Chains A and B, each alone.
Chain A
Amino acid sequence: GAVVSQHPSRVICKSGTSVKIECRSLDFQATTMFWYRQFPKQSLMLMATSNEGSKATYEQGVEKDKFLINHASLTLSTLTVTSAHPEDSSFYICSARVELAGDNEQFFGPGTRLTVL
């Protein structure tokens, strides 16, 4: 199956700094990418949906100025957590969707563990 990578896999930062997480579709072009956040023992919560070349659509309650999403190409989306605080510590997962022969295929990245001190 297709591969989605995330970088870094884990990051520790100080409160107030910004952190950028990259999501790449390695062997396919993704029509849409999704960003999720997952707290311990909870399900994945959708943060935003992004299409290449257009602004991301954020879910209710997700601050777009805090979680900046850039989807500059069909193989790369980035999530920047600006002025991170300890409550932003979480597991961030991206997902890429591609349409193959008319069917949607959804592939998930391995996740990025963010710890804000």
Chain B
Amino acid sequence: LAKTTQPISMDSYEGQEVNITCSHNNIATNDYITWYQQFPSQGPRFIIQGYKTKVTNEVASLFIPADRKSSTLSLPRVSLSDTAVYYCLVGPASGGSYIPTFGRGTSLIVHP
């Protein structure tokens, strides 16, 4: 299983763009990268998933360089409600053997 490394914490201010980078040096060819958001005392919530280049949805963008050894979650114009822990997971998008394992995550605090 590809191990992931993220910054433990980040601070930002309302209205700023936040970029959280995740390292996954031993990502496999068939692995996808998935980001989750977790608020205190809640289950993780899916944010975005990608395989290569750039993926964008209504809440975030995911940038993946050509070597796929890292990925960056970009949150545009954060608000106080984006204060949460963000996890990146790496694993195959298909097949029954994948076991989603969480790393330490990045605790994002958005200040007024």
Measuring CB to CB, which residues of chain A are less than 8 angstroms from any residue of chain B?
1, 4, 6, 31-32, 34, 36, 43-46, 49, 91, 93, 95, 99, 102-104, 106-111, 113
B63 at the interface (CB under 8 A from A): no
Spot the interface stretch: B21-29, B53-61, B72-80, B87-95: B87-95
Q: In the complex, what's the smallest C-beta–C-beta distance from A35 to chain B, in angstroms?
A: 12
Complex: how many Å from CA A11 to CA B105?
27
Point out which of A1, A32, A44, A91 has the most chain B C-beta atoms below 10 A from its C-beta: A44
Q: Smallest CB-CB separation from A40: which chain B residue?
A: B40
Residues of chain A within 8 A (CB-CB) of B44 are 44, 93, 108
Majority-rule SS of B interface residues: loop
Residues of chain B within 8 A (CB-CB) of A99 are 94, 96
> How many residues on chain B are close to A (CB under 8 Å)?
23
16 contacts between A and B (CB under 8 A): A4-B43, A43-B103, A43-B105, A46-B99, A91-B41, A93-B43, A93-B44, A95-B43, A99-B96, A102-B94, A104-B98, A106-B46, A108-B36, A108-B44, A110-B43, A111-B41
Residues of chain A within 8 A (CB-CB) of B95 are 104
Measuring CB to CB, which residues of chain B are less than 8 angstroms from any residue of chain A?
34, 36, 41-46, 87, 91-96, 98-105
Residues of chain B within 8 A (CB-CB) of A107 are 46
Point out which of A45, A49, A103 has the most chain B C-beta atoms below 10 A from its C-beta: A103
**B98 contacts A43, CB within 8 Å?**
no
Complex: how many Å from CA A113 to CA B41?
8
